[in-house]
Structure 1
Amino acid sequence: MTLPLKNTADLSARLQELHARTRETPLFNPVFQLGLDLSRALEGGSTDLDALEALVEELECAGLEARAGRLQRLVAPVAPEANEAALNAALGSADDFDAFRTRWESPRLHAVFTAHPTFLMTPGQSAAVADAASQDTPISRSVCAADAQRPSITLEYEHGEVSKALANAQDARSKIVSETLAYAAKVWPDQWHALAPLPFRFASWVGYDMDGRTDIKWYTSIRFRLSEKAERLRRFADDLEAIVPAHALIDTLRSGADHAGRSAEDFGEDLSAPEALSQAANRLTYDHPDKLTSLTAIIAQLDDEAAASDDLDQAIAIKTLTSCMRADGLGMGHVHFRVNAKQLHNAIRSHMHETPELDLASKGAVATLRRMLAGRKPMRTNFASLAIESSTAIRQFLAMAQILEHIDADTPIRMLIAECEQPSTVLAALYFARTFGIEDKVDVSPLFETESALEHGGRFLDSLCAEQQYRDYVRLRGRACIQTGFSDAGRFVGQIPASLAIERLQGRFAQAMAKNDLADVAALIFNTHGESMGRGAHPANFEDRLSWPMSGWARHRFASSGIKLEPEVSFQGGDGYLFFSRPELALATLSRIVCAPVDNADAANDPFYSRTDISLDFYRAVRAHQRQHLRSATYSRAVTAFGLGLLNSTGSRVSRRQSDISADRDMNLRQIRAIPHNSVLQQLGYPVNVISGIGSAADGNYEELASLIESSPRGQQLISLARASNGLASIKTVAAYGELFNSAYWASRPYRGTEPHLSGACETLAEFLTKDDRTGVYRRLASRLRVDALKLYRLFDLLPAEDPDSNRETTRRMIGAAQSVRLALMQHIFLKAVSVPVFSRANDISREDVLEMVFSLRIEDALAQMRRAFPTHFPAPGDFAMDAPADYPDATSEGYAQIGRDFIDPIERAYSLMLRLSISIANQFGAHG
């Protein structure tokens, strides 16, 4: 070792030195070598876990600083005055009042605050990133280290976080609405009162999403909706009091808030007993004078007062408030319930009395549901109906019915259907909506996300829009809704093919609506994605972030058919909420959206869509390459080799699907969800689902493809995503993880007496790993990735270079340093684990079983078994009231305490440092998964 390794600067310099050696030895692995350097220092005593923890803290700081810089870059400018200037420029683009009104009374975006498990950072870390991004506040060392107690990411925690984000989003929207009204009042003083700006709608599915989880009780959703109502009414009351301090409606709003708050407390109790539910339900359903279920009269009164006011500022403030009331209703935002198609299928079968076994994908099922819908009359329901119902899907419809009747009668509710692949599923949802009398307030929205759904989605939409019952329904609602997901799509199809397939599906939706005379209703398309490039959010800038999931070409398809488009996107979990974690950031985020260009006419001339002989072949080739990975035992084994042991727990929804948790060696990719899948790829160093296949798709056609990409804005956007991902990727890192399981490495490590104190442990590891497959698996995967990458670089060479990222090499070295430190910690864990004294088999758990747990990073399970085998707490002689004397056991005996200190505790500490490095690496990538 030629350099000391005391800080990240030392690590970076050492990595640079080691990288130079790859010229003379192509197979040399700098990341693994730096990990070995650190491991030798740690095992040799020249450094210790305290020193490594200091390195980890530095790397955490670097990750947080990178995260803050990325956030600031995306939403810049952040200063409120700069955003006010940008907004004023955008407001001045309309020539007449009618055009101005058309633009500002229709949402530029529906933003949904979802809560999949992406709560990666601790509250202190998130606050530091937000402060740094919004106010250029330096990130201090004190907050870089992970908090001693990471909060338990419960549903309650997620709901609290979404409420904070929504509050900041609402305040930012109010500023935009106020500026819009002020501009209109100045330019059109005789007409501006007719303006009702609605630039954004907000929604949340936190507490209402039942897809893939059974841990949310129905009354939890009711309680959340009531608590949201109470909070929003208090905020409305505060806003009105700031405008007109003695206004009579303030008491009305506060009393309504108090009533909702009391009911929320009622529904926070255990309502499993009929008596308890009856009391809570009756207090809510009783026609109490403080019970507000509609804001219509309040909005009308306030608008009349604004129109009659001689105080312009007061009138603008009142109309700003009524605009927010129209947008949010009696809640912090709209709500999205979500169920799985299978849950709906199980529910509808119980209502198909004559043909319960009918194949729901058949034409016969559609005909049957058509008849059922035609004759369906609404039925009255109450909270007892909810308590008695056992079907998850029907329970969701019953909950919506109670919300619309007793909590908020004005605000529509979305019903999202995951894995929806046939029109009969949508008709089943319409059947239940009609059954419970809420058809006019519920937007049924099928989700297209799986490979099958995207492939056959066009035919699905053609058939659905041809159904008269569906056409009547969407005309009643004024909109047709679908959801497209970048989650499983990006995992199983690849992120770039998924984006192109989703874009094509959106175009087919426009075509199906136009063909079936539905141009008179709006198309609301909810594009769900996370914040990272692995889940559908483009990292280049906010304009690309908006157009990536809903391209100019797709927008043009709706515009050319005269269909009003309402785009909707998600801001997901701890990553997405960062955009709204400070008032300045929320205003900057919404300003970027309202100031983004909306003219998509040029998209129709993009050669990417006319030269389908090249672009379609490119799409198919990338998708085929991604499919090969997905179906490859090598890829599956590499991604699941460590289970989920590289990841922190980051949400209330389980990351792993139901399965036998002991079957790690045979774990299938479908047993883990999309976010942890993508997160594991980040942690292994190579976002396969973003980068792979592009080079192979270009093979043999480099010049033509490069020419098309260079002349196509959409093609450039595709390659920009791949370049951004590739700029953070390292195939050497993937290979390095395989070498941890190389029996020859462990057998050779103490060769020639270099580390004689490790001879026994290394020999045990070498022997144990002789049959392990992971070295070969990672080598094969790295080889496949390398071949594809060589072709990708050949394509890059033919394309104009992007503006150099001044931080790119620093970022890469920080990721490499973090990976190397983690490799050293993993080696420390392995060496300590095999050095634990042999213990007897207990309850069918052997030492070999425990070691396999360690190698699969099921560290908590392994530690539990070790502590069981070597307990440190025993009954003492003094605990017993014995008359007879005894000399044994000696009170000075330590029992197994030394084993705990020397082996078990260091494993636990090393693993906790590993997980902190996982946060640092994810922050360098810009998001979790």
Structure 2
Amino acid sequence: AIDPDHALIATLRRAQAYSAGMADRFATPLDDPTALSEAANALTAEHPDKLLSLAPVIAAIDAEALAATDQVRALSLATLAAAMRADGLGLGWIHFRVNASQLHNALRRRIDPDGTLDLASQGAIARLRELLGETKPLRVNFAALALETSTAMRQFLAMAQILHHIDADAPIRMLIAECEQPVTVLAALYFAELFGIADKVDVSPLFETEAALEHGGRFLEALLGEPHYAAYARRRGRVSIQTGFSDAGRFMGQLPAALAIERLQGRLAAAMATTGLTDVAALVFNTHGESMGRGTHPGGIVDRLTWPLSRWARARFARAGVTLEPEASFQGGDGYLFFRNPELALATLTRIAEAEAELGAEPAERDPFYDRTDLSLDFYRAIRRVQREQLESATYARAVTAFGLGLLKVTGSRVSRRQSDIGADRSMSLRQIRAIPHNAILQQLGYPVNIIAGAGTAGGDEMEAIAALLGNSTRGAQLVRLLRAANGLASIKTVAAHGELFNSAYWASRPYRGTEDRLETACMALADYLTKDDRAGVFRRLVSRLRVDWMKLHRLLSLVPGGPADGERDPVMDEERRAIGLLQALRLSLLMHMFLRAVEVPPFSRSNDVSRDDVLEMVLSLRVDDALAQLRRAYPVVEPKLGDFAVDEPSDYPDQRGEDYGAIRARFIDPIERAHKLNLRIAVAISNHFGAHG
């Protein structure tokens, strides 16, 4: 749109060179006060090439577009200006995340150093109101940022420096996790005012726990009723919240989580109308990183957009007269799939634009799902109850953590444990595993409990009525599509097969027919070891529970109008099931191979408080890297020799050649490593079949 010799090109190139130079300065170690001072002084000094805002550039382009006589050129210039407004100076928008407890700790340092004030009390809110009314912004610099140790305060200081010296236009999102009290949001607002950045920061409470979603309506009503918050929202032009489907889906199940979040969104619309905040927008950011796979709903683009922000919720904002600013995330590999090249990215954005245009219209008919709350609310509560019982069940927790996180490729969510802490595997809590790895383990075991469990049981005595409601409701049909997609890939037999790996009777009877005589010793040793193991029984109990619920789900889905006819098969889904079944069979064979190799490893002396049985337990729990490290330490292939040392004094000892452990490595250690690498590749393939890309 701009000619190569346009004056703005030179301005932007000088600004780019200046920014690159500053980035290079801050990419170097800045632990030393002198180095930090030099970098900070260079960034904060006035410079003719420093560009903190695109406003003057956009104004110049707008003026040129208005003056242009060529319509094509005018449109190109206007498009360029619009792109600059949308994208700003950076490659993306800036999000900071802080926990509520971190904000509370920072607040106590300012207003309650003795820890005598209950931050949930009306007294604390009254004190914050006073502070918000009298706060004068403080000046800050990079030295203050370097000296600050509080996580929350460091984030506010970093925001201030970004806005003052890097990008003055950037709207910054402050996400507050585990936010369950209005005082937490007011604390964030206080710090934003304290550092003079409230006009540029969207303080956004994150609702993802069951408690936050259950009480979120009252939370929002109280928060929006605070005069200081209402004034801040009008300055920013929006009320911002975030809803998280990953943790909510783990604690409540994906279906109840979606319905609870939908209800919360409706309560936000009502609260904005009640408090007179209809003159600002509602920014609702839905981080649907998890559902059946990595991205919300396995249906099309419309399902992806309406699963986290339903037609009903959108209509509530429209009826309240509140402008809605919906945001949704494409996370991990799921995002790369939809935006991996320009053509695919354009197609994705086009479908989103088309869907949003259609979703902006008022629904032609009322959805009975929201009228028949006697059925839909009971359905929701029953699923939530079953999901909660699962999460609190020691049987479920032990089964899900039976292999630790060893079924998955290493991620940032991997729980770190001491090398010799074998008992940690037996007592690992589900709360030690984040939502995405938790759901990924369910996919690897073959049954997405977080989606399927409870729906069949929730039918109860009203099975026919609930099936009719789901079939005749737009929202209900969407729930059913998710259930069918997950159920189409689920296999209770696969869950049972993983449990059989720990069944002592299986290993004892395996060589019974006499066709595997060479494995008899290993099988009997493994059978003897597993007589003390609880995992086979745990899996058996879990499978029984899931099977009863699944039979009820099968009946419910068969009653839903519009479903496949009896005996009708989906060839695509059948192909998916066969592929997953083959992958699972391969993986189970590899796991058996690993277990047999591990139990055959010759005894070795206890080292670093780790015994041979400990190493076997590591392999059974798929802490394979830890096990291999111990085995390689016990059976080194390359040992130092006398000739490796340049020592003048002669020695006749050692007078015998050291033992060569190469054969042990080749027979036991290396096969375990190869099998484990294949297991991880299979895990990725299984995840992809569930749509859990990345």
Aligned partners of 1:361 and 1:422 also within 8 Å: yes
2:497 to 736, 749, 755: 736
Aligned residues of 1:815 and 1:921 also touching (Cα < 8 A): yes
Residue matched to 1:751: 512
Q: CA deviation at 1:713?
A: 0.4
**1:493–1:659 distance in 2 versus 1, CA, 3 Å:** farther
Alignment match, 1:784: 545
1:414 aligns with 2:181: no
Structure-2 separation of matches of 1:887 and 1:302:
83
- 1:355 and 1:316 mapped to 2: Cα distance? 62
Q: Aligned letter for 1:669?
A: L
- Bigger CA drift: 277-286 or 529-538? 529-538
What do residues 490-511 of structure 1 show as CA deviations (whole Å, max 9, x unaligned)?
Answer: 0000000000000000000011
Q: Does residue 1:899 correspond to 2:664, yes or no?
A: yes
Distance 2:118 2:31 in 1: 36
**Which position in structure 2 is the counterpart of 1:854?**
619
Equivalence for 2:430: 669
- 1:861-876 aligned within 5 A: 861-876=626-641
Q: Residue 495 of structure 1 contacts residue 535 of structure 1 at CA under 8 Å; is this kept in 2?
A: no
Alignment partner, residue 589 of structure 2: 824
Report the equivalent of 1:837: 602
Letter in 2 for 1:517: G
Aligned to 1:632: 393
Cross-structure match for 2:298: 539
Query: Contact between 2:468 and 2:561, CA under 8 Å: does it hold in 1?
Result: no
Alpha-carbon separation, structure 2, partners of 1:739 and 1:730: 15
Distance 1:649 1:603 in 2: 48
Distance 2:191 2:489 in 1: 48
Contact 1:657 1:671 in 2 (8 A): no
Residues 531-588 of structure 1: CA deviation (Å, up to 9, x unaligned) = 6525661111110100000001000101001000000111112222321111111101
The aligned counterpart of 1:352 is 111
**Which position in structure 2 is the counterpart of 1:807?**
572
Q: CA deviation at 1:657?
A: 7.5
Gaps of 5+ in 1: 1-239
CA pair 884-839 structure 1, distance change in 2 beyond 3 A: closer
User: C-alpha distance in 2, partners of 1:347/1:884?
Assistant: 65
Gap change, CA 1:884 and 1:866, over 3 Å in 2: closer
Offset at 1:267?
1.1
Q: Which residue of 2 aligns with 1:649?
A: 410
Contact 2:413/2:437 (<8 A) preserved? no
Q: What TM-score comes out, normalization by structure 2 length?
A: 0.96
Q: Paired residue for 1:797?
A: 558
1:506 corresponds to which of 247, 265, 289: 265
| In the alignment, structure 1 residue 316 sits paired with structure 2 residue 75 | yes
Kindly state the Cα deviation for residue 623 of structure 1 after the two structures are TM-superposed: 0.2
Give the distance between the partners of 1:253 and 1:555, measured in 2 at CA. Answer: 40
Q: Which has the higher contact order (CA 8 A, sep 6+)?
A: 1
Whether 2:26 is the aligned partner of 1:267: answer yes
Pairing of 1:193-232 with structure 2 (within 5 A): none
For 2:581 and 2:156, locate their aligned partners in 1 and report how far apart those are by CA, in whole Å: 50
The one-letter amino acid paired with 1:706 is A
Structure 1 residues 681 and 526 mapped into 2: Cα distance closer, same or farther (>3 Å)? same
Measured in 1, the distance between the counterparts of 2:642 and 2:360 equals 83
Which letter maps to 2:439? N
- Residue 424 (1) aligns with residue 191 (2): no
Match of 2:63 among 291, 301, 304: 304
Q: Which of 142, 148, 161 is equivalent to 1:383?
A: 142
- Tell me if the contact between 1:495 and 1:536 (Cα under 8 Å) persists in the aligned partners: no
Give the match's secondary structure for 2:164: helix
What residue number does 1:467 align with? Answer: 226
* 1-structure distance, mates of 2:571, 2:349: 27
- Segments of 5+ residues of structure 2 without an aligned counterpart are none
Task: Give the match for residue 889 of structure 1.
Answer: 656
Q: Deviations over 1:590-642 (max 9, x none)?
A: 00110111245227710100100000000000000101101100000011111
CA distance in 1, matches of 2:28, 2:447: 47
* Deviation sequence 1:280-324 (CA, Å, 0-9, x none): 111111111000001111101111111212222222221111111
CA distance in 1 between counterparts of 2:360 and 2:186 reads 36
* CA distance in structure 1 between the aligned counterparts of 2:427 and 2:106, rounded to whole angstroms: 33
Distance, in Å, in 1 between the alignment partners of 2:120 and 2:574 is 53
3-state SS of paired residue (1:351)? helix
**Superimposed CA distance per residue, residues 857-900 of structure 1 (whole angstroms, 9 cap, x where no aligned partner):** 0000001111111111111243246756689434xx76111100
Partner residue in 2 for 1:280: 39
Three-state SS of the structure 2 residue aligned to 1:338 is strand
One-letter code aligned to 2:546:
L
3-state SS in 2 of match to 1:571 = coil
Q: Secondary structure at the match of 2:330?
A: strand
C-alpha displacement of 1:843: 1.9
Preserved contact between residue 830 and residue 854 of structure 1 (Cα < 8 Å) = yes
Cross-structure match for 1:18: none
C-alpha distance 677-786 of structure 1, shift in aligned 2 (>3 A): same
Q: Which residue of 2 aligns with 1:705?
A: 466
Amino acid at match of 1:328: D
- Listed one character per residue, the Cα deviations across residues 32-53 of structure 1 (whole Å, up to 9, x for unaligned) are xxxxxxxxxxxxxxxxxxxxxx
More divergent stretch after superposition (310-319 vs 342-351): 310-319
- Which residue of the partner structure matches residue 107 of structure 1? none
Percentage of identical aligned residues: 63
Mapping of residues 43-62 of structure 1, within 5 Å: none
| 2:24 matches 1:247 | no
Give the secondary structure class of the aligned counterpart of 1:533: coil
1:358 CA drift (Å): 1.4
Within 1, Cα distance between the matches of 2:184 and 2:364? 34
Corresponding position of 2:312: 553
Residue of structure 2 in register with 1:15 after alignment: none
For residue 249 of structure 1, what is the amino acid of its counterpart?
L
1:847 Cα shift?
A: 0.8
Candidates 908, 912, 916, aligned match of 2:673: 908
Partner of 1:56: none
Question: Tell me, what secondary structure is at the counterpart of 2:110?
Answer: coil
Q: Distance in 2 between matches of 1:559 and 1:355?
A: 47
Q: TM-score, normalised by structure 1?
A: 0.72
Segment of structure 1 superposing worse, 404-413 or 814-823: 404-413
Match of 2:280 among 521, 534, 556: 521
2:219 maps to 1:454 = no
Give, as a single letter, the amino acid of the residue that structure 2 aligns with 1:345: H
Matching of residue 577 in structure 1 with residue 336 in structure 2: yes
Superposed CA offset, 1:190-246 (max 9, x none): xxxxxxxxxxxxxxxxxxxxxxxxxxxxxxxxxxxxxxxxxxxxxxxxxx5xx4111
Rounded Cα–Cα distance in structure 2 between residues aligned with 1:887 and 1:734: 54
The one of 592, 602, 626 aligned to 2:363: 602
Given that 2:293 and 2:691 are in contact with CA atoms closer than 8 Å, whether structure 1 keeps it comes out as no
| Structure 1 counterpart of 2:52 | 293
Q: Distance in 2 between matches of 1:342 and 1:330?
A: 33
CA displacement, residues 892-912 of structure 1 (integer Å, 9 cap, x when unaligned): x76111100110000000000
Separation in structure 2 between the aligned mates of residue 365 and residue 535 of structure 1, nearest angstrom: 40
Structure 1 Cα separation of the partners of residues 653 and 457 of structure 2: 78
The answer for the alignment partner of 2:94 in structure 1 is 335
**Number of aligned pairs?**
684
Distance 1:480 1:915, change over 3 A: same
Aligned to 1:693: 454
